[in-house]
Structure 1
Amino acid sequence: MVQVKGASSNKVFQRFTTLDIVLMAMLAAANAVLTVFLSPLNQALNGLGGPILTSTITGLYMIYGLLAYYIIRKPGTALITYGIGAVVQAFMGTAYGILSCFVAAACYLVIVEGAFALVRYKKWSWPMLMVTGGAMVPVWFFFAAQMFGYTKWGMDVLLIALVVRVLSGMILCGLLVKLLGDALAGSGLLRRFAASRRMEA
């Protein structure tokens, strides 16, 4: 356990339990499977509406790490969950290349860890989760634009795609995490996790 002065700090920096690690690994594995199914959907949307329509499902790619953080509520959760997710995706194979798995994971975890550190791990409301979900998008979008040639779209399409992706991150990641997390906590399945003990309206 990390020792930090102050009663409130001692409650924040806790060692991960075996159950925490198992949950993070399960969510990372589930995401890898989800990504397999999202790839053809992504291609279909791209064929129908190009980069704008494809951008509508962006939030689903990020949800697993933020959901783990909402349930466990310990610093480092995003680092471990997105890290495991990147490794699992790399082993399973991805249409976007192995490098993209790790770059995307790094972008996501930096934003999530930073966001909850700023509020000292005390804010778990839906506005906080939606803002975090939206904030996860721009950094990865910048790297993705360089890696996948988004710059050929033109500035107007780039800006619209970015806005759509941010909205997708807010809704299909941030808001959906709140709904899923609270539903699971209310069912009693998460009674050994922080989300069950500190549910917020």
Structure 2
Amino acid sequence: MLEQLKTWIITICTAVFFITAVEMILPDNSLKKYAKFVLGLILITVFINPIVKLFDKNFDITTYTNNAVQCLDNQKFNSDFDKYKEKSINSTLEAFKLNLQQSCEKKLKEKYPNNNYKVKVDASYDKDNGKIEIKNVNVGIKEGNVEKVKKVKIDSNSKVVNNQDSINDEKTVNITTYLSSELSVSKDVIKVYKL
């Protein structure tokens, strides 16, 4: 018992000496208060370790630390991490699509100011390459202030309502070429139609 007390006192003196030396070396800035906090935790651990051993002979701080690390490495942590990663990718993808749509509408309005545009982007995340790929860009052109009337066929057998008439003229070619160069995508993924 006396030997354990002697070891404990030597450990406390060593820890205090170490903490004092570190505090003297640290510069006077905001880092110092965080370093003092960590050093205080070390000192508390040095004080408490022998007291806990009096009540629990098998207590070892290293064992508890290793158990905590293993707990973090278990399957639950990995599945939670995967869920968070998937959620993060999905929210990033949605933000990317929205920002790209707004950016395309703005650029088209600046380049071709006589029309109004509605852009819809479809994109996906390629896990293998870690990149977002643009699948298609649909550009609706509204000429003037009035929208085109949608084709509606009233019939008991009819089920389709079509409002996306593809247009193939010089304006379409110009818009497709412009967006293709701005977005660095193939012209095949860009579809221009009248609203």
Q: TM-score, normalised by structure 2?
A: 0.26
Of Structure 1 and Structure 2, the greater strand share is in: 2
